[in-house]
Amino acid sequence: MSEPAVSVIIPAYNEAAYLPRYLPTVLASLRHWEAASSQAGEIIVVDNASTDPTADIAASFGARVLTERARGIGHVRNTGARAARGRKLFFTDADVALPLEAVTASVAAMDAGAVGGAIPPLYTPHRLGARLLCAYWDHYRARHGGAQGVAQFCTAQAFRAVGGYRADYFMSEDVEFFARLSALGQQTDGPAVILDELRVRPSTRRYDQWSSLRMLWWQNPVTARLALTSRRFWRHWYTTTVR
């Protein structure tokens, strides 16, 4: 088989309950692109010291599984990128459903000259307060040009040029990475694009299980900038899958 042209990288910690639901959407999106392009891709799941069968389940779907013991989302994404064989990288989370066109549209954007980009999320929590909070964040990101790591992509060359994700950040590493990717695009005339015509659908486990007060404290622009290199401050992001 030919070397993969696209590598999809998924960090995963104790995601055995979610991978069977969400990983098939990633596979379908990648296969859709493969069929149209006659090229090959790969899916890399980086198991971040899980204590459940995350690795076995990922392997059962045909993913290439790596193990990274050091906890930290930026570090884990970088581990997957270093092992990736594709010239184009697509980062998503283990609890995110991709639309069928996600990989195809991302590759097309990079083939057209973009250094990378992102696909915005569409959260659909049950509670009204959570829906309003998600709507606020959509507005905030659109106004400030940011992008979450639930679906980011870039060329391998661009990833190396910006130095990857901040491995010392325990939160907001995706926003910081996208800011540097956008700056690189401005320098090289290859933009970092946001594919607004598409949406990925993350799980709503956080919004459905957290109290409104907890959501407001941990999900606002001020808190999201606090103590980003402190493992203790953001420890709840790493001790449970509800984050």
Structural domains of the chain sorted by starting position, each given as residue range(s) with its CATH number in brackets: 6-124+146-204 (3.90.550.10)
Q: What is the pLDDT of residues 154-171, one digit of tens each?
A: 999 999 999 999 999 999
Report DSSP letters for the chain, one per residue.
-PPPSEEEEEEESS-TTTHHHHHHHHHHHHHHHHHHHT--EEEEEEE-S-SSTHHHHHHHTT-EEEE--S--HHHHHHHHHHH---SEEEEE-TTEEPPTTHHHHHHHHHHTT-SEEE--B----SSHHHHHHHHHHHHHHHHHT---TTEEEEEHHHHHHHTSS-TT-SSSHHHHHHHHHHHHHHHHT--EEE-TT--BEE--HHHHHS-HHHHHHHSSTTGGGSSTT-TTTTTHHHH-S--
Would the pTM count as exceeding 0.85?
Answer: yes
Contacts of 30 (CB under 8 A, 6+ apart): 6, 8, 41, 43, 103
Residues 148 and 179: their CA atoms lie apart, in Å, by 11
Question: For position 158, what pLDDT does the model report?
Answer: 98
The number of residues in the chain equals 243
Question: For position 36, what pLDDT does the model report?
Answer: 96
Question: For position 126, what pLDDT does the model report?
Answer: 85
Question: For position 160, what pLDDT does the model report?
Answer: 98
Structure tokens at 218: 């941990």
- Sign of the Cα pseudo-torsion (95, 51, 75, 59, in order): negative
| pLDDT-flagged residues of the chain (< 50) | none
Residues 221 and 41: their CA atoms lie apart, in Å, by 36
**Measuring CA to CA, which residue among 36, 34, 136, 50 is closest to residue 86?**
34
Structure tokens at 84: 């990736």
Structure tokens at 108: 């097309």
